[in-house]
Amino acid sequence: MGGRAAIEAIQSIEFDLHITDPKFEVDGTYFAARPGKMRIDVNAGGEHVFTEAFDGQKGWQWEGKGSAQKAATETATAALRHGVELPGKLFGLHELKARGHRIELDGRERIDGISYYVLRLTLNDGYCTTLYVDPKTWLITRRRDVRPLHVDVDPTPMTIEQHNSDFRTVAGVQLAFASSETDLQSGKVLESAVVRSVKINPPLAPSIFEGL
CATH number at residue 204: 2.50.20.10
Would strands 12-20 and 25-33 be described as parallel, antiparallel, or unpaired?
A: antiparallel
- Give how far Cα 7 sits from Cα of 88, 93, 127, 172, 200, Å: 10, 10, 24, 8, 11
- Taking only the tens place, the pLDDT of each residue in 161-176 is 999 999 999 999 999 9
Report whether the peptide linkage leading into residue 87 is cis, meaning its omega lies within 30 degrees of zero.
no
Give the helix/strand (H/E) hosting 75.
Answer: helix 74-85
For the chain, the domain total comes to: 1
Mean pLDDT of 76-84: 94
Q: What is the pLDDT of residue 66?
A: 79
Tell me if 43 sits within 8 A of 17, measured CB to CB.
no
For residue 142, give every residue at least 6 positions away whose Cβ sits within 8 Å of its Cβ, in sequence order, or none: 111, 116, 131, 132, 161, 162, 163, 164
Looking at every residue in the chain, the average pLDDT score rounds to 95
pLDDT at 85 over 90: yes
Which residue range is the domain that position 25 belongs to? 4-209
Mean pLDDT of 88-96: 95
pLDDT band at 153 (very low <50, low <70, confident <90, very high): confident
Q: What is the pLDDT of residue 155?
A: 82
In degrees rounded to 5, what are phi and psi of residue 204?
Answer: -110, 120
The percentage of the chain sitting over the pLDDT mark of 70, rounded to a whole number, equals 100
- Taking only the tens place, the pLDDT of each residue in 12-71 is 999 999 999 988 899 999 999 999 999 999 999 999 999 999 999 999 999 988 778 999
Q: What is the pLDDT of residue 56?
A: 95
Q: What is the pLDDT of residue 123?
A: 97
Q: Distance (Å, rounded) from C-alpha 44 to C-alpha 41? A: 10
Higher-confidence residue of 153 and 148: namely 148
Q: What is the pLDDT of residue 102?
A: 97
Q: Distance (Å, rounded) from C-alpha 197 to C-alpha 30? A: 11
- Give how far Cα 179 sits from Cα of 3, 101, 120, 190, Å: 22, 24, 20, 11
Q: Running DSSP on this structure, what letter comes out for residue 73?
A: P
Q: How many CB atoms lie within 10 A of CB 11?
A: 14
Q: What is the pLDDT of residue 191?
A: 95
- Taking only the tens place, the pLDDT of each residue in 125-138 is 999 999 999 999 99
pLDDT at 156 over 90: no
